[in-house]
Each structure stands twice: as C-alpha cells, then as structure tokens.
Structure 1
C-alpha cells in the first residue's frame, strides 16, 4: 500500500520524489490515513472508504465549505483554533478518483499536534469539549442545508435498531447465538424512540461534526492547549445533542471503547461535569432551550446507538468497522452497552450538570 501511495497517488498532488516518507497515521475505523513527509513539506493523505461514504465528492465538498468558513472567521479573529484545510491536486481538484484503486484526498498537517485516546483528567475533558463547542458556535451562522448528507440517517436510532433486527433475523454468519444477551438488551430500549419522536421536531438543524471523539480534537503538545478539530468526514446537518452525546461516550469512560475490562467501564461523574462546563461555555447563548433539554437524550441515544452499530456489524461479518481480531466488534458493543447502563444508573446526579 505504501509503495502504491508513493508511486501512484502522490504525483497527483505534485509530490514526485521517491524520498517521500509515508507512514500510517491514527487508528480510525473507516479510512486509510497516512502522514507524508518530504524535504521540507508534509501533508495528510486519505483513502476514503467508498463502501461507507458512497458519495465521496460530497464529503470533500462539505469539508471544503467548512474550512473556508472557519478560515474566514479565523482571519477576523472570531475563531481561535487552527483550520485543517484541503489541498488540491495539480489540476485544482479536491480529490482524485482512481476507481478500484481508491478515492484519495490530501489535507494540511498541523505540526506539534497530539491526539489522545482516553481522557485522564477534567482539564482534558473541559478543553476538548470547549473546542468542539467553539467549532459548532463558529459554524452556527453557516446554513446547514449547504452541506450534503454523506451518510443519510447517520444518527437515526429507529433505523439502526431495524438494521440490528434484520441482521439477527438473517444471521448470515451464525453469530447471534453468541450475543443473545446484548441483542435482547438493545432491543429492550424502545422507550428512547418515543422521546426522540417528541423532541426532535423541536430542534433546529445545525452543522454537526457527528464524530466528536476525544482523538478528533488535537492538542498542541508544546503546552497541551487545544489546537484543532479534525476529521470532518461526517460533518452534516443534524442536531447538536448527538455531538454532545459522542463526547460523553468517548470522554467519560476510563477505558478505550474496545476494552474488555467491563468492570471498569463507567461514566466518570467529574469528567461528565467538565464536558458540560466546556461545551456550554461556548454554546450556552447559541443553543435554544429545547436544544439544551435535548443534551441528556443525546448522551443516552449515542451510547446505545454506537453499541447497536458495533453489534450489527459483528452479526453482518464486520463489513463496516475495521477489526483487529475475532469478535472485536462484539467486544466494542459490550463496552458501549456497559457505558450506557452506567449512564442510566447515574441519571439523577448527572443531569444536574446540564441545568
């Protein structure tokens, strides 16, 4: 793969040296991402997974519109973070489509950047939540309908539960017998659907990041200040309760999302409180009252829904998320359902931080 990237893909972006150093970057589940360094230059190169993102041109156009808007805000000192920008091909295109050999795009690389996988303290949670809130606040005056839906119904719990049921019924890989406990548990959470049906129509459409994991906020490793929001692949119109929910999902547990140490998977109250403080410090005057009321629902829905998606992919033969060993997606599902249970158990005390 690296030889192919160096010899075939990079020349489209004006890099024609065999001295370019290409190395894998990050641990994303979906795309192939590489850091490319040559001479005094560097960039990030991504091979977009077109089985997941079936309209990859829409993805790069969305990212371009967001980067342009944020760059304009930054020039006027209205946006404090760095902006990851798309880099065009020699022919002025945002990406290159090589058919069966992949759909490739390049973006700027931020030196001195650092990502983390697990939040270790309140300060990390606060700064990351504040950064994601700042990102959304800066985009609040950009018409959300300008962005195309790169994955329709991405955060649609009823549809995700239907997909799970279909996977169970088909059971193509005969895996359902090994996870009946989690299948039953997920299917028993129907009450969330009624809450969604009642509240969702009251919420305005916003430009949402839709993947606010802790490792999608870069720190400046020189002083651990917030540097940039990255991975704009799933930016679409939607409801901000899901961005809040994904922060709760990925910040609050002391374990990574595929940890099998389920006894240690729980929502840390102090981290939840720090998320609320950071996020609302940037969006408190932007969010409507209904949006503020939706945040607790978003936390529950996302924790459950990601577990459902992992479980569905396990049953379907691991066709969506990259796995590193047998039952990896089942382990991820169990982890997320355990975190969801912890969220429910602490509802009374956690909701206080949103009031």
Structure 2
C-alpha cells in the first residue's frame, strides 16, 4: 500500500526497470481484492506480458469504441508489443498506420472494405514498396486479430489479404534490386515463406534454408552433413566468394529444418535431387521461383535480409555484414569479431527467422 492517499500498488520489474501499477484506493478495494489483482498481474508477467499494458488492452477491448479500426489497432499493438525485442519495430507499427492508414481509423471494423485498403496502398504502392508491403501486412494482421476476438464478422474475408486478392488488384511493380539480383521486399517474406512451407520438394527446403541463413545458392546446394556441428555450419573456403571459410550460427528454425531431413554420411549432400552423392542444381531453385510466380533471384534474398536488418532491428550493421560474409575491417579484427560475435549473430538469425516465419 502506498502512502498519502492510501492506495494499493503492485511493484514489479519490466525490461530491467522498476514499474508500479495502481490497484485502487484502500477505501474502495479490499486487501483480498488487491491480492487477487496482484495475482493476475503476476500471471501476466509469467506469460511475458507487461501487467499495465495487458490491463489497458483488456479495458480497450471492452470499450464499445474498440469496434473502430484505430481504437482496436492500438489495443492490438499494446497486447503484442511486449514480445517485440526492437523498440524501432514498435514505433514503426504505430507511425506507419498513423501516417498511411489514418483514413481507416474511425471506420467500424466490419465496414472496412477492399476499396478502403486500396485507397491506403495505391498512393505509396510504386514509390514506397517496402512501406506499402509493411502497412498492408499490418492491416491484415489487425483485422485477423479483430476477427479472432469476435469484433469482426467471422465469415468476412480479410480485405487486406495478399494472395488471391490484392495481388491481382494492384499493379506489378519493380522489385527492389541490388545490381542484377532482383529481390523480394522483406515485408512480403512472411507470406512467401508460408507458401514455401506448403511445398514438400527438396528444392523448397533448400530455398527455405538459404533464406533463413541469408546464404548464396552455391554455399547451400554444396552443403554436406559433416559441415554442421554444434549448431554451427562451417562453409569451406572453396565454396565462398571470398575464398575464406565462413561460420554460420544456425537459427532454431534452420536447425529444425535440417533435423527433419534424412541424415546421410558426413560427405553426403544435405540438399540433393535423389542421390546423396550429387548436389542439386541451381536450376532447381530458379524453376521453383518461376513456378511460384515471383520475379526474384535466390541471391536477392540476401538483399531482403540486409534491408530488414538495417530498417527493422537494432543489431549492429557489422553483424549483418558478417552474416553475409562481407569483408569488414582488418584480418585481425575479423578473427577477433568472429569469436566475439557468434552468439550475437545467432540472435540476429533467430530474429530474422521469427520475422519471416510470422504466419507459419
């Protein structure tokens, strides 16, 4: 109980900082009721949620005004942002919706139509492709969450859905590119990875691994079982563009992917076309991408990774450069950094895997 006005207070730590949550005045809330409220707050902490944020979210959803897109969007962001490691990511969710989707704010959730979503996206679709893709995905996610909460008709289609809906209504646009390597905007990767997951072919598994590791196709298609040990994949120098061995700390998702494959001898290829002694051809990846009707190259996913790391994370730039096996600094500094940064790079790759697996 705090002094002065005699109020019950729950004190806890969140992200290393001391926080206080008021439980009500002592005259209005009994000791037993205060203990019940404190117990609920501890349950939120155990679930990885900030008790104050969780309470505000519950109140917002209970508010009749939560049926508008703007009010529910804020409630939804507040309910999930505790799981986002990156402060920049939190800020960008709110600012992108405020800047580009303000016309949806006062609309009833059930009133939002495809035309409303198109009116948001069309002004930025060609000039700001990354922003447009992120905004579309965020609108789709908010409307899906509202539907799950019963705030939107369960039989209603999502007007922000991409595949089979907006992809045939919006014009084709030039893909982001680095040199001659066409790349998919990283905001479209969660949907792409979901589609890739539904394909059982070995080429699809190889492409998933390539994207998860931000690697070149030759590095992945030449990978042998003996190169993976202790959660680390060591690519020999003869397969690296720079001629030096490259260590790749594998994300949990990448490890799960290879664990699901039939393990061969140390010299066997991980990704093969039926004979473990022969690697899969580069053409298999190109044909897969063609069948999926995406105008990108396998190499372009490295650009998608780099753009995501720069725009959406607080990870040091040199970590993503190391992940891409780009030369940074002197040989002595590189050797020191490889040992120093391996676990930080693993966290970077786990964050990347979590981002692109959002809908899986």
TM-score (norm 1): 0.29
Say which structure, 1 or 2, has more relative contact order (CA 8 Å, 6+ apart).
1
Tell me which structure has the larger Cα radius of gyration. 2
